[in-house]
Amino acid sequence: MASVIAADNPGAAVLLMGNEAVARGAIEAGIGVASAYPGSPTSEILPAIADVSGERDIYVEWSTNEKVALEVAAASSFAGIRSLAVMKQNGLNVALDFLVNLNMTGIGEGGMVVFVSDDPGAMTSGNEQDSRMAAKWFDNPLLEPENAHEAKEMVAWAFEFSESVNLPVIVRGVTRLCYTRGNVVLGDLPAGMRKKARFSDVWDMYNPTKSKFTATPSPVAHRLLHEKFEKAREILENAPFNRYSGPDNPELLIIATGVSAAYSAEAVDVLHLKERVGLLKMGALWPLPKKTILQWLSRTKNVLFVEEMDAFMEGSVMELWAGAGLHDGGIRFHGKCSGHFPPCNEQGADLVIKALTDILKIEHQLIDADYKREAAEYMRLVPNRPINMCAGCPHRATYWAIKNAIALDGRNGFVCGDIGCYAMGFGPPGFFQARTMHAMGSGTGVANGFGHLGRFGFDQPVIALSGDSTFYHAALPALVNAVYNRSNFTLLILDNGATAMTGFQPHPGTGVLATGEPAPVVDMEALCRATGAEVMVCDPFNLTETTQAILTMMKKNAGVRVIIMRHLCQLVKVKRKIAPRYSMRVEPEKCIGESCGCDRLCTRVFGCPGLMWDSRAGKAMIDEAICVGCGLCADVCPAGAIRKEEVH
């Protein structure tokens, strides 16, 4: 069945997830290239485009990291073909070094959109950040959609905008936008032949930025950038994404960006404040459309800013107001500055309601008592699911071996963790082993540094972790650095055959492209060997052998040692319909449970969700619905009570 993303049915309203709407917008704009590195909450955009890449003639790729993704997309724009690069907030940081040069050089004749999603509340991330700050920091146009439909419209529009100002355009999403479904009215699909890609060979004296993509001489390029920026501002003054609704002279003006506009509208509605409060919904944010904003500021005495994460609009508008010399206007500003919104976590209509009742001194019972009681009752029905690795997850096996190896080694060794499912290793699923975690590849980078502290008396063995995809993304330079600079640590590459955390996207080691077509395998083992590191490969499910291998490598205490922990992600096994290996059961007579000699090792410490503790019987049980028959717990049970039988 053809994907709805590419349905040629203009005017039809379809239900799309925000991420799909972004994909659709890019397709309507006729992009030729889409590139991304997987990262929730944006991971679904590229696959949606990949699904129709054949019929729409679009080149898609999972790049090894976001900087490369951005570079791949930029080349296409340089050659006149529209391009989309997609990343999450952390990815933008990786790509920034290219982006801060790209806006200086311009993007050529093919429009370019960089879709970046932030993750307020860090629901799928290790950090919280407001990516919009980047736009202000290095002068890059910025848009922020309110809902799925606007996301589609805005992305499509952004390509033209990009071309008219010769700059990449950042479209900022948030998790709520990316993962919420909404009605999207489809537009026209591009028709006719795609234009030929061509990198201009003409040295245009009068318009060098169109044919030359270097930012030198920088002062000139920087001046040109600011000229383009003023042009961009003019365009945004009239962009269709900034709208006002409310009285002509509102008692209070809400300035809300992106999804916050929807929360704000809801709050105004709930409090019946349409006659008193105005809402300036902003989607075209940067360069700041000064005229539009000043026009509304001059009509009110109270402003409330509502936006996800930092005080981006709030600060910018206050600067504008101060600079415009309108102080006598006597406006009171509210938002993060007044403490009505926290500078972190997700916001919502509730917070807006609270702010409005406080500022306008109105009574409102936020949640009535009955509702509260009912909600609490429902909450009781929701099972408490602590974060955990899946049943059958090879990371649990690896961490078990690491934990035991570190204890046996006895020199207070520790783990420098990294980004991926195995980041959970800081808590119970990884037996509290991961002790540092920052950016992609940082486990290896930080381990590099520890490896040189021996001269200051540091004598603890260091283990760095890297996922397979993370390895290609950013750990490889750190590994090369480590070998070159003669650092001292053991790197464990957790090769589970997929970018598991974000949805099993392929990577250079998997032999598969974003489109599902076969690809050459970039041999991780050979790559590591080529650096000069000592390399071995283990299956973490052989617990004893793996523990011994880690121990041996730790003990070497010189140079860089690499162990590739190779075992397929359990969910990939399920996707590939690989049948469970064992059928598992607990023999209750043998289970010694809470007594000395076990103390519920399997359910209390090992913690595979496929095991349950029957507190009434005082015995462990297999949860048939969750157990995937990996057999690992049978090797962990000290009483031989967990039996595994090979399934034929």
Partner 1 sequence: MSGTKRGSRNLLEDVLKAGLCTGCGACVTGCPYMAIHEGRIVVLDRCTIEDGDCWRHCPRTPTDVSGFSEKTQGVPFDFLEPGAIIAVEMVRSVDAAVREKGQDGGVVTALLAFALDEGMIDSVVCSKKDAGGAPHGFVARTARELLECAGSSYEAAFTLEAFRKIPAGNADRLAVVGVGCQMEALAKMKAAAPVNGGNPQNVQLTVGLFCGWALRSDIFRPLLEEICDTSRIVKFDIPHSPGTSFDVYTKDAGKISIPLDDIRPAINPACQYCWDMTAEFADISAGSAGSSFHGWNTVITRTPRGAGLMKRAVAAGIIEIQPLPESRMTKLKASALNRKKNALRNLARKSGTREDLGYISGLPAGLVDALLKD
* CA gap 584, 570 in Å, rounded: 16
**Spatial CA neighbour of 584 closest among 434, 391, 337:** 391
Is residue 440 part of the contact set for ligand SF4 (CB under 6 A)?
no
Is residue 639 part of the contact set for ligand SF4 (CB under 6 A)?
yes
For CA atoms 12, 17, 22, 27, the dihedral sign is negative
Residue 408 binding partner per list ligand SF4, partner 1, none, with a CB distance cut-off of 5 to 8 Å that depends on partner kind: partner 1
Residues 6 or more apart whose Cβ sits within 8 Å of residue 1: none
Minimum distance, C-beta of residue 594 to partner 1, in the bound complex (Å): 8
Residue 185 binding partner per list partner 1, ligand SF4, none, with a CB distance cut-off of 5 to 8 Å that depends on partner kind: none
Amino acid identity, position 555: K
Is residue 627 part of the contact set for ligand SF4 (CB under 6 A)?
no
Please, which residues bridge with residue 566 across strands? Answer: 495
**Spatial CA neighbour of 175 closest among 342, 19, 341:** 19
Minimum distance, C-beta of residue 388 to ligand SF4, in the bound complex (Å): 17
Count residues near ligand SF4 (CB under 6 A): 13
Is residue 601 part of the contact set for ligand SF4 (CB under 6 A)?
yes
- The DSSP symbol for 454 reads G
Minimum distance, C-beta of residue 450 to partner 1, in the bound complex (Å): 23
Minimum distance, C-beta of residue 633 to partner 1, in the bound complex (Å): 12
Please count the CA atoms within 13 angstroms of the CA of 339 that sit on its side-chain side: 1
Query: Of 485 and 615, which has the nearer Cβ to ligand SF4?
Result: 615
The residue from 82, 464, 600, 609 that contacts ligand SF4 (CB under 6 A) is 600
| x/- track of binding to ligand SF4 for residues 553-592 (CB under 6 A) | ---------------------------------x----xx
> Is the omega angle on the peptide bond into residue 477 within 30 degrees of 0, that is, cis?
no
Distances (CA, A) of 366 to 271, 345, 374, 376, 454: 10, 20, 15, 16, 59
**Spatial CA neighbour of 462 closest among 337, 566, 550, 397:** 550
Query: Of 575 and 590, which has the nearer Cβ to ligand SF4?
Result: 590
Minimum distance, C-beta of residue 315 to ligand SF4, in the bound complex (Å): 56
Is residue 598 part of the contact set for ligand SF4 (CB under 6 A)?
yes
Is residue 620 part of the contact set for ligand SF4 (CB under 6 A)?
yes
Minimum distance, C-beta of residue 47 to partner 1, in the bound complex (Å): 40
Residue 249 binding partner per list ligand SF4, partner 1, none, with a CB distance cut-off of 5 to 8 Å that depends on partner kind: none
Query: Of 481 and 557, which has the nearer Cβ to partner 1?
Result: 557
Residue 410 binding partner per list ligand SF4, partner 1, none, with a CB distance cut-off of 5 to 8 Å that depends on partner kind: partner 1
The residue from 84, 142, 500, 641 that contacts ligand SF4 (CB under 6 A) is 641
Minimum distance, C-beta of residue 153 to partner 1, in the bound complex (Å): 55
Residues 6 or more apart whose Cβ sits within 8 Å of residue 551: 405, 408, 409
Residue 407 binding partner per list partner 1, ligand SF4, none, with a CB distance cut-off of 5 to 8 Å that depends on partner kind: partner 1
Binding site for partner 1 (CB under 8 A): 403-404, 407-408, 410, 431, 592, 595-599, 601, 604-605, 636, 638-639
Burial class (CB in 10 A: 0-12, 13-18, 19+), 374: exposed
* CA gap 523, 511 in Å, rounded: 10
> Is the omega angle on the peptide bond into residue 41 within 30 degrees of 0, that is, cis?
yes
- The DSSP symbol for 568 reads -
Is residue 593 part of the contact set for ligand SF4 (CB under 6 A)?
yes
Minimum distance, C-beta of residue 403 to partner 1, in the bound complex (Å): 7
Minimum distance, C-beta of residue 627 to ligand SF4, in the bound complex (Å): 13
Binding window for ligand SF4 (CB under 6 A); candidates: 81-89, 350-358, 417-425, 599-607: 599-607
Query: Of 210 and 644, which has the nearer Cβ to partner 1?
Result: 644
* CA gap 115, 62 in Å, rounded: 15
Angle between helices 290-297 and 312-323 (to 10 degrees): 80
Residue 403 binding partner per list partner 1, ligand SF4, none, with a CB distance cut-off of 5 to 8 Å that depends on partner kind: partner 1
* CA gap 298, 201 in Å, rounded: 50
Query: Of 116 and 611, which has the nearer Cβ to ligand SF4?
Result: 611
* CA gap 39, 420 in Å, rounded: 10
Per the CB < 8 A criterion, the answer to whether 40 and 67 are in contact is no
Is residue 602 part of the contact set for ligand SF4 (CB under 6 A)?
yes
Token reading at 484: 């070159």
Minimum distance, C-beta of residue 570 to ligand SF4, in the bound complex (Å): 20
Query: Of 295 and 595, which has the nearer Cβ to partner 1?
Result: 595
3-state secondary structure of 463: strand
For 245, phi and psi rounded to 5 degrees? -135, 140
Distance of CA 643 to the CA centre of its chain: 40
Minimum distance, C-beta of residue 400 to partner 1, in the bound complex (Å): 10
Rounded to 5°, angle at Cα 10 from 6 and 14: 65
Q: Which residues bind ligand SF4 (CB under 6 A)?
A: 586, 591-593, 598, 600-602, 620, 637, 639, 641-642
